Structure 1
Amino acid sequence: MAVVQFMVSLDLSVVNVGLPQIRTSLGFSEVGLTWVIHAYALTFGGLLLLGGKIADLFGRKKLVLIGLTVFGVASLAGGFATEPGHLVGARAGQGVGAAMLAPAALALLTSTFPSGKERAKAFGVWSAVNAAGAAFGVLIGGVLTEYAGWEWVMFVNVPMVVIALILARRIAADAPSVTRGRPDILGTVLATAGMSLLVFGVVRTDQHPWTSSTTITTLAAAVLLLAVFLYVEKTTSRDPLIRLGLFANRSVAGANLFVLLLGGAMASAFYFVSLYLQRVLGSGPARTGVEFLPFALGVVVGSVLAIKLAASLAPRMVLAIGGGLTGIGFAWFSLFTADGSFASDVLGPSIVASIGIGLCLAPMASLGTGGVAAHEAGAASALLNSSRQIGAALGLAALGTAAHARTGDVGTLEALTDGYSLGMIIGAVIVVGGVVIALAALPRSSPEAASAATEH
């Protein structure tokens, strides 16, 4: 499951550094190039809830094997793409595979390690590779693009798929944990359409501003579809896509709110720091990747610390400490200077923020799936992943817009730096807001102890 999560996280960032070379090689337009990113985000975010439900209905191991196959085939096809449509289609296929993999893998982890120290260790490993995948994606993408060609940012997934398939086959087969009733087809269509439209509306704010009629109409339609979905889930006599009673579990509700906020701040931080290194400090793709290494290593350190702290502190306190450190690190990033350097402006805040993120991820995943009945582990896992994806899309679009507004059309290094600094300080405030939610909303005791609250 660690290999699976590393691969899924890697693909959220590995392609980014190779975009200029992809544009030149395949003849993308400026607008069309954004769909190399958006196609993955759209299918991944839009199909997560459905993937979680299918995992509960038909077995998580089975869905992991199918998802790995889909992801591997799509990656192979993307590497051989000869025109823009081929690559965008392959990226969409990767998103479909990831939407199967992410909730099924986390649900398997949850059911295999239901409580105790082993659960803390398992989620520590999972969280380390989860964030390290995103951070190492920049390094791997930069090195492969510069020395092997952009095709290898797609081909790199194939050996990981093969390894994961070999390991996943050794997992004991899990029986479907849900007695199949009549499927909630209407709810499934509404949720998938609403989530996809929401992500679609947000990611296109780089072309259509937040105040444009296109964006307002798209987001309004998404909200309407999701509101109707919630009504259908509450009133349906069929087997719902997601039981709304899950939100009565304080652990699930609090963790999802936290990951929504942290996901937005994290995605924005990766974006702004990468742009600062390349556009202001002048680092090339490979060097930018290397300069992200301290961040990746810091996440691993934070994840190890989270395992040790879990023995003496409640998960919500570990989460709060991690969120506090992350906020401090992001605020430190906001002190960017136009004539700065990696050592003075990036290294220190990278270490502080990454250790904080590492501390957050394990308890966040454990709380988001803790105290949940076995037959709903896939749904809870999908919900947590959906919150992270929506948070990342919303946060990056909103903070990117704020940074661009601060920069304006000046284009000088000072103006760019001012924009990135504003984005980072807003991100710090968002994370601190998440800490407040964690302390106020999450249960003081372990979520497993409160599982009875979610059984009815």
Structure 2
Amino acid sequence: MRTPGRTSTRRRTLAAVAVVQFMVSLDLSVVNVGLPQIAADLGFSAVGLTWVIHAYALTFGGLLLLGGKAADRYGRKRVLLLGLGLFGLASFFGGFAQEPGQLVAARAIQGIGAAALAPAALALLTATFPTGRARVRAFGVWSAVNAAGGALGVLIGGLLTEYAGWRWVMFVSVPMAACALALAWRGVAAGPPSVRGGRTDVLGAVLGTAGMTLLVFGIVRTDQYAWTSPTTLTTLAVAAALLAAFVHVERTTAREPLIRLGLFANRSLTGANAYNLLVGAAMAASFYFMSLYLQRVLGTGPALAGVEFLPFAFGVVAGSVLAVKLGYRLAPRTLLVVGGLLAATGFAWFGLISPDGAFITDVLGPSVVAGVGFGLCLGPVVSTATAGVAPHEAGTASGLLSSSRQIGASLGLAVLGTAAQHRTGPTATPEALTDGYALGLTLGAALLVAAALIALTVLRRTSLPVRAEQIDDRDALAARN
């Protein structure tokens, strides 16, 4: 039986995590629309401007595993509060940047804060809602705000850039960080004392963080250096060597490892991370290609382009609500397969865009279909990846899941963007641009089909949440008697 106090704590935790996730997702896309104004105001070069995005991606993607481990070792609430404070301060000072280096530094510090708070928040959600119908509802809320933040970031970024100035794309995160900080400070339980199993594996942490950071660095720089260039090949080779050394250290260290490699024997965790990587690649590519198609081919302004992303956002929210209702009757694996195939259908429909198209005929329908598909799978993939993980490793599992999404997004933009650029060729006519974007979106559909196949073949069938909750209730009743 749930006590009123416990229910209230759960609700406050869910509210804090929802604000955190919305803020992090928003920050991944809100800055993009303001890049031209940022370049003109601060004097960025064409190459330097990319670091407004890359600085955040590097620190966020490279430090997620370390952030997840810190949450397990030093306490989720403590790491969440630290990350929120760092993120809010970086957003505040970034809005006052007067030169390129200041803004890039602020974006890098934002990434460090996000790498701390994202896995801590997800681990808190996992611990607060371990099983049953409440877990399905909680992850439904999480998935809705996660995707809505990313989609609405384009809209909010366009409106702020056009009517208030680019600095507000940095300032907008400050009140959200303050709100989440207040909610987490007063509403989130501190949790049991962290269990420290031994001395920290410093060498493994250095190797893992350096390898992840260099991997993301090599991928995001393919917009300047081709995949076959010596620069890219050398960077990726060094990253692979560092990660191989990291795996060796984790297998042989006598200290407390950054990641216990035995976690990967959990098929749910491994399959969900592979699924998450592919979905992350497809979703990031969809925002990128559709934003360019709307603005460069259809001639839509940044503010209106943001408005035209709303059907996708509403589709994700609708899919998340539907995932909650279906989650009481269908296994998570089924939702992942259905959601992946539905999103793939929307992407394949996107692949039919034409240079003389229109929003109503070429964008609206596939946006709704793809959005509902994404909404169906976002909550279940997180729930699946953290199911069966020991409580003291929930932060590590959450950091790993966030890492797979971030690396997938970087890979998707780099690989699909390169394919689209090759298809477009040297002449950027509306026809050539449309051909390139259509190819990228079609390849995104193929990635989503592959994700659905992974869910079907790797993940095991699990008992339904309602049935699991009924079993838990019977066990609790037997214990009381």
Is the counterpart of residue 55 in structure 1 residue 71 in structure 2? Answer: yes
Q: Who is 2:49 aligned against?
A: 33
Q: Considering only aligned residues, what root-mean-square deviation do their CA atoms show, in Å? A: 1.0
Q: Structure 1 vs Structure 2: percent identity of aligned residues? A: 69
Corresponding residue of 1:252: 269
Q: Does 1:123 align with 2:139?
A: yes
Structure 2 partner of 1:313:
330
Q: How does 1:204-243 map to 2 (within 5 A)?
A: 204-243=221-260
Superposed displacement of residue 446, structure 1 = 4.4
CA distance in 2, matches of 1:392, 1:156: 23
For 1:209, the aligned partner's letter is A
* 1:192 equivalent in structure 2: 209
Match of 2:441 in 1: 424
Name which of 387, 396, 399 aligns with 1:382: 399
Q: Residue 371 of structure 1 corresponds to which residue in structure 2?
A: 388
The correspondence of residues 280-299 of structure 1 with structure 2, limited to 5 A, is 280-299=297-316
The runs of at least 4 consecutive aligned structure 1 residues that moved more than 4 Å come to: 446-449
Say which of 145, 168, 175 aligns to 2:192: 175
The equivalent residue for 2:471 is: none
Give the match for residue 10 of structure 2: none
**Cα distance in 2 between the residues matched to 1:349 and 1:306:** 19
1:175 Cα offset (Å): 2.9
Distance (whole Å) between structure 2 residues aligned to residue 225 and residue 185 of structure 1: 14
For the pair 1:141 / 2:150, whether they are aligned, the reply is: no
User: Under a length normalisation based on structure 2, what TM-score does the superposition of the two structures give?
Assistant: 0.92
One-letter identity of the residue aligned with 1:159 = P
Q: 2:320 aligns with which of 303, 309, 317?
A: 303
Per-residue CA shift, 1:58-83, capped at 9, x if unaligned?
A: 10001111100000000001100000
Q: What's the secondary structure of 2:300's corresponding residue?
A: coil
Shift of 1:177: 3.5
Render the CA deviation track for 1:1-60: whole Å, top value 9, x for unaligned: 000000001010000000000000000000000000000000000000000000000100
Residues 36 and 172 from structure 1, CA distance in 2 versus in 1: closer, same or farther, beyond 3 angstroms?
A: same
Counterpart of 1:454 in structure 2 is none
> Which residue type is aligned with residue 10 of structure 1?
L
1:357 has 2:357 as partner:
no
Question: What SS is found at the alignment partner of 2:356?
Answer: coil
Three-state SS of the structure 2 residue aligned to 1:13 is helix
CA-CA distance at 1:447 after TM superposition? 9.9
Corresponding residue of 1:109: 125
8 Å contact kept, 1:264–1:394? yes
- Distance, in Å, in 2 between the alignment partners of 1:247 and 1:407 is 40
Residues 58-77 of structure 1: pairs in structure 2 closer than 5 A: 58-77=74-93
- Structure 2 segments unaligned to the other structure (5+ residues): 1-16, 469-481
- Residue in structure 2 matched with residue 161 of structure 1 by the alignment: 177
TM-score (norm 1): 0.97
Query: 1:72-125 deviations in whole A, cap 9, x for unaligned?
Result: 000001100000000000000100000001100000000000000000000000
SS in 2 for 1:11: helix
| Count of residue correspondences | 449
Quote how far apart the aligned CAs of 1:172 are. 1.1
Gaps of 5+ in 1: 450-456
Q: SS at the partner of 1:50?
A: helix
Partner Cα separation in structure 1 for residue 414 and residue 228 of structure 2 = 13
Report the AA paired with residue 291 of structure 2: S
2 CA distance for matches of 1:254 and 1:318?
14
Contact 1:315-1:446 at 8 Å conserved across structures? no
Return the letter of the residue paired with 1:129.
V
Establish whether residue 261 from structure 1 lines up as the match of residue 278 from structure 2. Answer: yes
Shift of 1:178: 2.8
CA distance in 1: counterparts of 2:384 and 2:228, whole angstroms: 36
Distance in 2, Cα, partners of 1:395 & 1:229: 25
Aligned equivalents of 1:9, 1:161: Cα separation in 2: 13
For residues 339 and 369 of structure 2, the distance between their equivalents in structure 1, rounded to whole angstroms, comes to 10
Hey, what's the Cα distance between the residues in 1 that align with 2:25 and 2:177?
13
Rounded Cα–Cα distance in structure 2 between residues aligned with 1:21 and 1:403: 25
Kindly indicate whether residue 364 of structure 2 is the aligned counterpart of residue 347 of structure 1.
yes
Deviation at 1:176, TM superposition (A): 3.9
Does structure 1 residue 391 correspond to structure 2 residue 408?
Answer: yes
Q: Which amino acid aligns with 1:17?
A: V
Q: In structure 2, how many angstroms separate the alpha carbons of the residues matched to 1:220 and 1:324?
A: 34
